[in-house]
Amino acid sequence: MAKKALRLLKVLSLLLVIAISFSAAATQAPSYHDVRPGYGVTRTGWLSDYCQALKGTSGDTMVYYLESGEPGMDVMVLGGTHANEISGILASTLLVELAEVKAGRLIVIPHANNSAAMAPDSRGGLFLEQVRIAASSSDRIFKYGDRYTMEADQPEYKADPLGAESRNLNRVYPGSPDGTLTQKIAYGITSLIEKEGIDTAIDLHEANPKSTLCWNIISPDATLDIAVLTAFELEERGIRMIPDRSGPGFAGYSHWEWSRKGATSFLIETVNPGMESGMKADPVVSDEYPIEKRVGIHLETILTLIKYRSELKGGEFIIEGVPGYKDLTEKGISKYLR
């Protein structure tokens, strides 16, 4: 009888331990994203460091700093402005995991709109919440989210003159510290650009294969020459990118508003087959638009834009360890994801 009671007690205490660990997991600050910082990352922070009102909200997101300690250009790269545009998220994740900056400084935000990453894609045909990609260690899971800040995080959008677009991060720059959640995120990014003295800012996107935005590099007139030289050089390497003009008609967009804060700004668009409405196409595995090709083009375009920015406007920037288009298309993304 005593033995039975002892066994029961053991089972009960085991259940208690399991219950405690589950409740602890539920109350911890959630770590939503699998980003594995490499040797180049010197510190991490939060977007709420630049907009206090984001602290404790689903709009807060991690910021990765890759600091050389040597003078040079300050560069910011954003993935996940639209959380269903997965190649930008993966390209910025690879920068965090592989890049080493030898002159200048790189600041990366792989999931710019974290709230959007928490909702399933509402426009593609698959209603995905995540994608699984084989990596050198084991399979990696990446959030595949929505274009918009989660509805529950911004219910007041229905009365907003912008409607649903008020939940689109790339419509509400420069943002506001006491506005909607999306405006707070935009404000955090704008403040980062100002406080860190960002010279070059790059926003990574993807477009529906039928969109005229496919394979675009968008920049204001004053810096369009950098986009044109980049496109020429990329064409020699078999990558066709199209320079496109930003302007005052793009008020609220990253490429226009960031440039007004003094940063040489670009928006890069690759193509995501999963964004074609109702087509149920896989956003990763694709004959025409495989993820390796899109991530490779993002990375190669980023590095070439920085090179010409440096040549035309000054500011040294030396970065190593980043795979290019050829590396990714020949060896696959699995080789490079940790």
The least CB distance from residue 269 to Zn ion, in Å, is 7
The least CB distance from residue 168 to Zn ion, in Å, is 9
The least CB distance from residue 81 to Zn ion, in Å, is 6
Strand 74-78 relative to strand 100-103, pairing: unpaired
Interface characters, 233-252, with Zn ion (x: CB under 5 A): --------------------
Q: Say whether residue 205 binds Zn ion (CB under 5 A).
A: yes
- Options 15-23, 94-102, 112-120, 199-207: segment touching Zn ion (CB under 5 A): 199-207
Pick the closer one to Zn ion by CB: 205 or 293: 205
Convert 198-243 into a string of H (helix), E (strand) and C (coil). CCEEEEEEEECCCCCCCCEEEEEHHHHHHHHHHHHHHHHCCCCCEE
Among 51, 73, 80, 82, binds Zn ion (CB under 5 A): 82
Using alpha carbons, list the distances in angstroms from residue 28 to 55, 56, 114, 230, 265.
Answer: 15, 12, 17, 44, 37
Pick the closer one to Zn ion by CB: 82 or 298: 82
Pick the closer one to Zn ion by CB: 66 or 217: 217
Q: Which residue has the tokens 């994608």?
A: 131
Total chain residues near Zn ion (CB under 5 A): 3
- Options 78-86, 127-135, 159-167, 182-190: segment touching Zn ion (CB under 5 A): 78-86
For residue 174 the two structure tokens come to 């420069």
The least CB distance from residue 85 to Zn ion, in Å, is 5
CA-closest candidate to residue 223, choices 181, 180, 266, 253: 266
Pick the closer one to Zn ion by CB: 143 or 205: 205
CB atoms within 10 A of CB 171: 18
> Measured between alpha carbons, how far is 307 from 317 in angstroms, rounded to an integer?
8
The least CB distance from residue 257 to Zn ion, in Å, is 15
CA-closest candidate to residue 139, choices 307, 334, 322: 334
Residue list 116-155, contact with Zn ion (CB under 5 A): none
Pick the closer one to Zn ion by CB: 62 or 218: 218
For 51, how many CA atoms within 13 A lie in the half-sphere containing its CB? 30
- Options 10-18, 156-164, 203-211, 292-300: segment touching Zn ion (CB under 5 A): 203-211
Pick the closer one to Zn ion by CB: 82 or 143: 82
Q: Say whether residue 167 binds Zn ion (CB under 5 A).
A: no
Residue 15 CB partners (closer than 8 Å, separation 6+): none
Instruction: Give the chain's end-to-end CA distance (angstroms, integer).
Output: 53
Q: What is the binding site for Zn ion (CB under 5 A)?
A: 82, 85, 205
